[in-house]
Structure 1
Amino acid sequence: MTPEDYPALFHSADESSVAAQSSYLWLIRLQYGLLITAATVALWFDNAPALLLVYAFIVGASTALLIYMSVKKPEKDWYGCRALAESIKTSTWRYMMRSEPFEDVPQVSSVKQKFAAFLKGILDANSHVRDSISRRPKMGDQITPKMNEIRALPLEERREFYRTKRILEQRNWYVRKVKTNRRHFLGWIAFCILIQGSAIVLALIRSRYTEGWSIWPAEPLLVVASAAIGWIQIKKFNELASAYSLTAHEIGIIQTRISDVTSESEFSEFVNESERAFSREHTQWVARQND
Structure 2
Amino acid sequence: MSAAAPGPSTTLSEDDLPPLFRTSDRSAILRQGESFRAVRRQLSVLLAATTAAMLAERLDSHVPAVFATVLYALTIAIGLHTARRRARAQWQAHRAVAELLKSLAWQYMVHGGIFHSRVVNADAVFAERLEERLREMRKVGWEDPRDGAGARGEGQITPAMRAVRAKTFEVRRDIYLRERLLEQHAWFKRRAGEAHRASVHWSSVTAVLTLLALVSAALRATGLIGAWDLTGLLSAAAAAGVAWQEVHRHRPLTYAHSLVEQDLDTLRVEMTTTVTGDQWAEKVAQAERLVSPQHSDWLGRFGS
Into which bin does the TM-score normalised by the smaller protein fall?
0.7 to 0.9
Give the counterpart of 1:186 among 200, 203, 206: 200
Deviation at 1:142, TM superposition (A): 2.1
Q: What are the within-5 Å matches in structure 2 for residues 1-291 of structure 1?
A: 1-45=12-56, 46-70=59-83, 73-104=86-117, 110-127=121-138, 128-131=140-143, 134=145, 142-203=156-217, 207=222, 209-210=224-225, 215-258=228-271, 259-263=273-277, 265-279=278-292, 282-286=293-297
Deviations 1:180-234 (A, max 9, x none): 11111100111112223333444556656546xx644443222111100111122
The one-letter code sitting in structure 2 at the alignment partner of 1:27 is A
TM-score for both structures, normalised by structure 1: 0.84
Change (3 A) 1:106 1:44: closer
Q: Provide the aligned length of Structure 1 versus Structure 2.
A: 281
Change (3 A) 1:244 1:286: closer
* Contact 2:115/2:281 (8 A) holds in 1: no
- SS in structure 2 opposite 1:126? helix
Q: CA RMSD in A?
A: 3.0
Distance 1:129 1:210 in 2: 54
Change (3 A) 1:233 1:135: farther
The one-letter code sitting in structure 2 at the alignment partner of 1:93 is W
- SS in structure 1 opposite 2:156? coil
* Contact 1:40/1:217 (8 A) holds in 2: no
Distance 2:195 2:122 in 1: 40
Deviation at 1:99, TM superposition (A): 2.6
Distance 1:116 1:275 in 2: 18
Unaligned residue ranges in structure 2 (runs of 5+): 1-11
* Contact 2:199/2:250 (8 A) holds in 1: yes
The one-letter code sitting in structure 1 at the alignment partner of 2:127 is A
* Contact 1:79/1:286 (8 A) holds in 2: no
Distance 1:260 1:14 in 2: 34
- SS in structure 1 opposite 2:207? helix
